């Protein structure tokens, strides 16, 4: 599969490559003559970590899903929550919440679930609870965006996990966005919540693996 590296990873990968060289050059020079196995082990471990980091910032080349009446998954990962909740932040009423947990091995680029106008965009400082903790939706560092599509609004929360320390969101209030186009990026393990109107038809199941920009999350 053809893929590229997300721009959010350029500086991190460059720093990691520098550290990789800084560790391995002295290792081969000073250690390999007497303990080749140790030098080889250091090289293998640091190479694995470097390749894993590069993989984390990958952006696969996919055939994206678009369609009127469809709500597309905003993130890769596994569906961990499907429940009715009361939204205190924006709607002030009951909503259907679908949450997708992203492990460090998942693609961490986030995409717009629908086309429409951004009517709300707010960053919230917070904790770094593990992403599958129910309190992470309201207590963790997060970035909330509401998109209005054909008169209906949905809220998408990018939520930091225990490892994630930076949420990037590229949208702004008043902006017209396209379905499955890039919304933002979350570094390392994290979660995305989607708040839908009551009565929305959900197309995914608990523990289902989904792909951002590809899997149909729901229909309205």
How far is residue 91's CA from residue 155's CA, in Å, rounded to a whole number? 9
Q: What percentage of the chain has pLDDT greater than the value 90? A: 78
Q: Which residues touch 97 (CB under 8 Å, ≥6 apart)?
A: 81, 82, 83, 84, 85, 137, 193, 194, 195, 196
Tens of pLDDT, residues 52-83 = 999 989 999 999 999 999 999 999 999 999 99
Indicate the pTM of the whole model.
Answer: 0.87
Phi, psi of 126 (to 5 degrees): 180, -165
Tens of pLDDT, residues 84-116 = 999 999 999 999 999 999 988 899 999 999 999
Residues acting as catalytic residues? 190
> Is 132 a residue whose pLDDT tops 60?
no
């Amino acid at each position: 599969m053809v893929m590229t590296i997300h721009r959010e990873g350029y500086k991190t990968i460059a720093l990691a490559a520098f550290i990789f060289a800084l560790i391995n050059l002295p290792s081969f020079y000073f250690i390999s003559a007497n303990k080749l196995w140790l030098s080889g082990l250091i090289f293998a471990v640091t190479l694995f970590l470097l390749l894993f980091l590069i993989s984390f910032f990958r952006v696969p080349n996919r055939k994206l899903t678009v369609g009127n009446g469809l709500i597309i998954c905003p993130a890769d990962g596994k569906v961990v929550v499907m429940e009715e909740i009361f939204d205190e932040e924006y709607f002030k009423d009951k909503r259907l919440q679908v949450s997708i947990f992203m492990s460090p091995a998942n693609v961490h680029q986030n995409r717009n679930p629908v086309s429409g106008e951004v009517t709300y965009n707010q960053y919230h400082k917070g904790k770094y609870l593990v992403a599958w903790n129910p309190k992470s939706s309201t207590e963790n560092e997060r970035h909330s965006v509401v998109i209005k599509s054909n008169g209906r609004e949905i809220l998408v929360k990018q939520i930091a996990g225990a490892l994630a320390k930076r949420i990037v969101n590229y949208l702004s209030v008043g902006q017209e966005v396209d379905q499955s186009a890039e919304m933002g990026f979350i570094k390392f393990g994290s979660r995305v919540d989607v708040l839908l109107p009551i009565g929305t038809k959900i197309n995914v199941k608990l523990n289902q693996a989904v792909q951002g920009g590809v899997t149909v999350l729901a229909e309205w």
